[in-house]
Amino acid sequence: MAKKLVAYFSAGGITARLAQTLAAAAGAALYEIRPAVPYQRGDLNWMDKKARSTVEMADPNFRTEMADTAAPVAEADVIFLGFPIWWYREPSIIDTFLEAYDFAGKTVVPFYTSGGSPLGEGQSRIAALAKGAKVLPGKRFSARAKEEELKSWIAGMGC
**What does the pLDDT read at residue 28?**
98
Count of helices and strands (H, E) across the chain: 5, 6
* pLDDT tens digits, 77-88: 999 999 999 988
Q: Whole-prediction pTM value?
A: 0.95
**What does the pLDDT read at residue 24?**
98
pLDDT at 1 over 80: no
Distance CA 94, CA 83 (A): 8
Mean of all residue pLDDT scores within the chain:
95
What integer is the mean pLDDT of 14-26?
97
Q: CA of 1: how far to CAs of 4, 77, 108, in Å?
A: 9, 9, 16
What integer is the mean pLDDT of 78-99?
96
DSSP letters spanning 72-135: -GGG-SEEEEEEE-BTTB--HHHHHHHHHS--TT-EEEEEEE-SS---TTHHHHHHHHSTT-EE
pLDDT at 65 over 70: yes
Please say whether the beta carbons of 90 and 126 come within 8 A: yes
**What does the pLDDT read at residue 82?**
98
pLDDT at 104 over 90: yes
Amino acid identity at 151: K
Fold of 4-157: Rossmann fold (3.40.50)
* pLDDT tens digits, 109-153: 999 999 878 888 999 999 999 999 999 999 999 888 999 999 999
Lowest mean pLDDT among 5-19, 96-110, 117-131: 117-131
What integer is the mean pLDDT of 88-109?
97
* pLDDT tens digits, 33-45: 999 999 999 999 9
Distance CA 58, CA 86 (A): 11
